[in-house]
Amino acid sequence: MMESSYDLMILDYMMPNLTGIEVIELLPQEIKMSMPILMLTAKSQESDRQKVFDLGADYFMSKPFSPIKLMNLVEDILND
């Protein structure tokens, strides 16, 4: 089992080489359960959102967004 000292994982749906979706698919279930996952993406279709949640992400934010909005969401997640 991987031990983690991270409080949040932030991924981008369309990262080069390995997408955010592929990263989530590779994560062991205990990691998915131990920290929240926030997916950032230019995709905004409901099917994309549902796929992200079905794979284990906890939060979804569509681009474009302001840095302040992202920081507010991160703060809310970490204070939850």
Q: What is the CATH number of the domain that holds 48?
A: 3.40.50.2300
So what's the pLDDT on residue 41? 93
Q: Mapping DSSP to helix (H, G, I), strand (E, B) and coil, where does residue 39 land?
A: strand
Structural domain of residue 29, as residue ranges?
9-79
Rounded to the nearest 5 percent, the helix, strand and coil shares of the chain are 45, 15, 40
So what's the pLDDT on residue 80? 85
Tell me if 56 sits within 8 A of 36, measured CB to CB: no
Edge-to-edge, what's the strand order for the sheet holding 37-41? Answer: 9-12, 37-41, 59-62
So what's the pLDDT on residue 1? 44
Read off the pTM. Answer: 0.87
Domain for residue 37, yes or no? yes
Number of domains, the chain: 1
Residues of the chain below pLDDT 50: 1
Which residues is 40 bridged to in the sheet? 12, 61
What single-letter DSSP state applies at residue 64? S
Domain for residue 1, yes or no? no
